[in-house]
Amino acid sequence: MNNFSRDQTASRQKTLLIALLLSMWAPLATGIAVIMSTSTTQLADFIRRSVELVALFVSWWVFRYLARNQELGPEKKARLEKISGLCVSAALGVSAVVMLLLALSRMGVYEPGGNVYPGLAIATLGMIVNTWFWRRYSRLNHELYNSIIDAQRQLYRAKAFVDLSVIIALGTVAIIPAHPVTRYIDLLGSFALSGYLMWSSMRTARQALRPAGEDGSIAEEAEEAEEAEERQVI
């Protein structure tokens, strides 16, 4: 773990804790929305949020543990940071597989409809919050690189884009529920999200499994990625 100052450590730990607390309500709220709807994307979104909550807890706990045990050797610190990164990677990967399987299993029986407005409202709020955390973690990581914070940056970037795709899919169902194209937009949304999450999972795992001696190159790569993201957002 980096030699953060007390204020830097407190700032990062506070951000991780707030992110965890805000994410706790999402699986429950999305689960209620799933009961009121028949959307494949929305059901997959519920599973995604539940798995991500576990990864967020692990990341917060590891960062907190390392901050309180500065005397730990570099090998154990690196091992715990690797576990945190792999948990984030696993959350993204599991979400990708679940989305893909759900879309494939419901292709022949899918009937768009139901009340999608609760899910649409949740996804919209989620995109706003996740985008803020994405930018927040990017700024913290730019200030001083840390593998746990960088994994969170990648996770929240994925979450923001996933929420955007969910908004598009559910918005289509809400506007033209009976149109034939709605079925394909909703299912294609699941396929697209699955592919993006799997790509994000592999990228996060690759960085988590890098040898400890390559931290410098990882930091440079992360900084380049942040600059590229900023250009895309602009």
Residue 3, Cβ density class (10 Å: 0-12 exposed, 13-18 middle, ≥19 buried)? exposed
CATH value at residue 83 = 1.20.1510
Task: Say which amino acid occupies 203.
Answer: R
Terminal CA-to-CA distance of the chain, rounded, Å?
32
pTM of this structure: 0.78
Tens of pLDDT, residue by residue over 21-57, are: 988 887 877 777 777 776 666 676 677 778 888 899 9
- Please check whether residue 3 is in contact with residue 92, taking contact to mean a CB–CB distance below 8 angstroms: no
Q: Structural domain of residue 16, as residue ranges?
A: 6-233
Residue 168 included in any domain: yes
Q: Which of 31-40, 98-107, 156-165, 211-220 has the lowest mean pLDDT?
A: 211-220
Q: How many domains does the chain have?
A: 1
Q: Which of 5, 15, 18, 19 is nearest to 144 (CA)?
A: 5
> Is the pLDDT confidence value at 230 over 60?
no
**Domain-located, residue 102:** yes
